[in-house]
């Protein structure tokens, strides 16, 4: 059986092949047909995934084969006719255009859809139209649980029976069911359709070949029943107070050269992304030109990446990935920013990122420390370059405790990967070195998260980040010279000590003056 990494490679090839055909198909005003092999066999084969997304306006496309998750997602105006078999999240985040699905789909079809039309002629799974903000979703077949869950706006029409909890948690929009509804969910109520509504809706449906009857039911938000939930704050407690770096051998002379650089690469690739520094700034937008410290160091950005920056993939920029990733040096998939992605969807999103990036560009996954074992396992299974572990948790766990948690999770993975810690503070040089000594590859953080008056203006921001990076370099080299370490890959756990009993308990490190770790860390 093929591994996920092997399936990803096949899927990426399909993604890149299709990208070459799109412009030509638009110029010739011809439908692009994908899925018919020379011998009449269906392609892509079972398991290949993540290849049919982010299509531009004016494109016409017919799709066959076993197409996996996220098919037709981020449609920006194309006409898609999907005759193949689909997984979950079909037509998710569609902005415009028309998607016709001839067979059924899995769960969460049209998740986050904001415009255009999606027509499903077969059955759909759970949470169809979840979090819709606009557009029209029509389902002709049977409908699973929670259709329209969390719906904000738009119209859903179901021309068959609907399972339980229809409209659960909806706050706007409307669901029209011309069939039986097993039950309406909390936060929604049902009523009979009015005559003028029937005329209006049938005028909307007539171009698509559908028609409602007077037996149809309207489901809409119940403004008198509040079902909203306020998510808890996520943060960390403390920094790395209670830990210190200590020498392990003689100090180096001040004239010695200390190496801070490293590289992030995809497995089996000779070269990848060069890191000049042990700290990676995270920004909303790619920085402008400044000094050499910033020019030589990638940042993680939400938009407008430089050619060496990593684009953070999150729900709000998902629509723009094709263009943004083509100009980036790598990608970070922020799993927690998307609502409840399963592993198949993460696999599809990784395939999309690899396919849209320049060849051999690194892709990393990011999630919080409470999910670190799954995060690192998936990174290995998908054959990605690495992971970023966010120290923030529900209930604010101590930041020090993330070090042994990540270390133990990483020890279970046999494959090589880069693992970084994302902190909710800007690290000092010693803290960045502590993370490396603990077995990580560096720290990611926002550059001005601790500043009372952060800089404004593109040039000012770039200049100050460049200064912070330069300071990090100089001070980190000074620390390493004092510790007798000439390169960051020589830093080990024996260069770390706990200065308090509490820090030793949380980190599993030796307490100053004690030869062995505390009993709870050495006992099997």
Q: Please give the average per-residue pLDDT across 185-202, as a whole number.
A: 96
Give CA–CA dist 123/29, Å, rounded: 32
pLDDT in tens, 494-521: 999 999 999 999 998 999 888 777 776 6
User: Is the pLDDT reported for residue 110 higher than 90?
Assistant: yes
| pLDDT the model gives residue 15 | 79
Q: Are 83 and 65 in contact (CB under 8 A)?
A: no
CA distance 115 to 75: 9
Is 226 inside any structural domain?
no
Q: Which residue has the tokens 């949470």?
A: 127
* 245 and 167 within one domain: no
Could you tell me which of 371, 360, 429, 415 has the C-alpha nearest to residue 397?
Answer: 371
Question: pLDDT value at position 48?
Answer: 53
387 sits in which H/E element: strand 386-390
Q: Is residue 155 part of a domain?
A: yes
Phi, psi (5° rounding) for residue 461? Answer: -60, -45
Spatial CB neighbours of 352, under 8 Å, sequence gap ≥ 6: 15, 50, 53, 54, 70, 321
Report pLDDT for 51. 61
Residue 93 pLDDT > 80 = yes
Residues 181 and 207 in one domain: yes
Domain that holds residue 123: 4-221
**Pair (323, 460) in one structural domain:** yes
pLDDT tier at 1, thresholds 50, 70, 90:
low
**Is 228 a domain residue?**
no
Residues 453 and 330 in one domain: yes
The answer to whether residue 524 is domain-embedded is no
Burial of residue 208, with CB atoms counted within 10 A of its CB: 0-12 exposed, 13-18 middle, 19 or more buried: middle
Comparing 438 with 67, the larger pLDDT belongs to 438
What is the model's pLDDT at position 200?
A: 96
Q: Per-residue pLDDT averaged across 453-472, rounded?
A: 95
Buried/exposed code over 212-243 (b: 16+ C-beta within 10 A; e: otherwise): beeebbbbbbbeeeeeeeeeeebebebbbebb
| 363/433 same-domain check | yes
Domain match, 147 and 201 both: yes
Same domain membership, residue 257 and residue 135: no
Sequence-separated (6 or more) residues with CB below 8 Å from residue 327: 305, 307
> What is the pTM for the complete model shown?
0.93
In-domain check, residue 227: no
Nearest residue to 157 (alpha-carbon basis) of 114, 213, 107, 102: 213
DSSP, residue by residue, 446-480 = -TTTT-SS---SHHHHHHHHHHHHHHHHHHHHHHH
The verdict on whether omega for the bond into residue 44 sits within 30 degrees of 0, i.e. cis, is yes
For 251-272, what is the mean pLDDT?
Answer: 92
Residue 30 lies in a domain: yes
Where a domain ends, among 167, 188, 221? 221
* 189 and 305 within one domain: no
Q: Are 456 and 386 in a shared domain? A: yes
Confidence of residue 418 (pLDDT cuts 50, 70, 90): very high
- pLDDT value, residue 524: 42
Q: pLDDT tens-digit profile of 19-39?
A: 888 888 888 888 888 776 666
Query: What pLDDT, in 10s, does the model give residues 149-182?
Result: 999 999 999 999 999 999 999 999 999 999 999 9
Claim to verify: residue 165 and residue 270 sit in the same structural domain: no
**Are residue 358 and residue 429 in the same domain, yes or no?**
yes
Mean pLDDT confidence for 138-146: 97
Say if 101 falls within a structural domain: yes
Domain termination residue (choose one: 196, 221, 246): 221
Q: What is the mean pLDDT of residues 289-318?
A: 96
Task: Evaluate whether residue 509 is within a structural domain.
Answer: yes
Q: Are 421 and 389 in contact (CB under 8 A)?
A: yes
Compute, in degrees rounded to 10, the torsion defined by CA atoms 490, 491, 494, 496: 170
DSSP 8-state class, residue 375: H
CATH number at residue 405: 3.20.20.70
Question: Where is the domain boundary, 179, 194, 221?
Answer: 221
Residue 45 has pLDDT above 60, yes or no: no
* Domain CATH code at residue 169: 2.160.20.60
What's the domain count of the chain? 2
């Amino acid at each position: 059986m093929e591994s996920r990494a092997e399936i990803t490679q096949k899927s990426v090839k399909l993604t890149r092949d299709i990208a070459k055909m799109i412009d030509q198909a638009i110029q010739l005003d011809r439908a692009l047909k994908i899925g018919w092999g020379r011998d009449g066999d269906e392609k892509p084969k079972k398991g290949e995934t993540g290849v049919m997304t982010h299509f531009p306006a004016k494109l016409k496309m017919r799709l066959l084969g076993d197409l996996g998750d996220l098919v037709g997602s981020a449609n920006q105006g194309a006409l898609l006719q999907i005759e193949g078999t689909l997984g979950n999240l079909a037509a998710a985040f569609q902005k415009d255009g028309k998607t016709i699905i001839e067979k059924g789909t899995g769960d969460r079809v049209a998740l986050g859809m904001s415009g255009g039309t999606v027509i499903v002629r077969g059955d759909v799974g759970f949470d169809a139209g979840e979090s819709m903000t606009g557009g029209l979703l029509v389902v002709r077949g049977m409908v699973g649980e929670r259709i329209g869950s969390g719906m904000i706006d738009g119209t859903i029409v179901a021309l068959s029976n609907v399972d339980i909890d229809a409209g659960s948690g909806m706050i706007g929009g409307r669901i029209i069911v011309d069939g039986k509804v097993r039950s309406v969910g909390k936060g929604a109520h049902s009523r009979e359709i009015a005559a003028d509504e029937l005329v209006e809706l049938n005028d909307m449906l007539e171009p698509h070949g559908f028609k409602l009857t007077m037996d149809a039911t309207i489901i809409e938000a119940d403004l008198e029943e509040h079902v909203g939930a306020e998510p808890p704050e996520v943060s960390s407690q403390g920094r790395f107070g209670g830990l210190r770096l200590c020498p392990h051998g003689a100090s180096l002379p001040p004239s010695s050269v200390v190496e801070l650089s490293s590289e992030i690469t995809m497995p089996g690739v000779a070269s990848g992304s060069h890191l000049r520094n042990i700290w990676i700034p995270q920004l909303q937008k790619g920085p402008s030109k400044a000094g050499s410290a910033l020019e030589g160091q990638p940042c993680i950005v939400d938009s407008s990446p430089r050619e060496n920056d990593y684009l953070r993939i999150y729900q709000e920029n998902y629509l723009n990935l094709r263009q943004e990733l083509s100009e980036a040096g790598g990608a970070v998939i922020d799993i927690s920013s998307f609502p409840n992605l399963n592993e198949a969807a993460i696999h599809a999103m990784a395939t999309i990122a690899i396919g849209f990036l320049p060849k051999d560009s690194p892709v990393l996954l990011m999630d919080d420390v409470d999910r670190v074992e799954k995060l690192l396992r998936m990174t290995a299974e998908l054959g990605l370059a690495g992971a970023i572990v966010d120290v923030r948790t529900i209930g604010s766990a101590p930041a020090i405790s993330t070090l042994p948690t990540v270390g133990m999770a990483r020890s279970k993975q046999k494959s090589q990967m880069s693992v970084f810690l994302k902190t909710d503070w800007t690290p000092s040089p010693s803290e960045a070195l502590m993370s490396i000594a603990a077995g990580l590859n560096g720290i990611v953080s926002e550059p001005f998260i601790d500043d009372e008056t952060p800089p404004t203006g593109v040039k000012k921001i770039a200049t100050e980040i460049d200064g912070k990076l330069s300071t990090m370099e100089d001070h980190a080299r000074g620390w390493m010279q004092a510790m007798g370490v000439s390169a960051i890959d020589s830093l080990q756990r024996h260069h770390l000590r706990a200065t308090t009993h509490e820090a030793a308990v949380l980190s599993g490190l030796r307490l100053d003056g004690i030869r062995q770790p505390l009993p709870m860390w050495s006992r099997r």
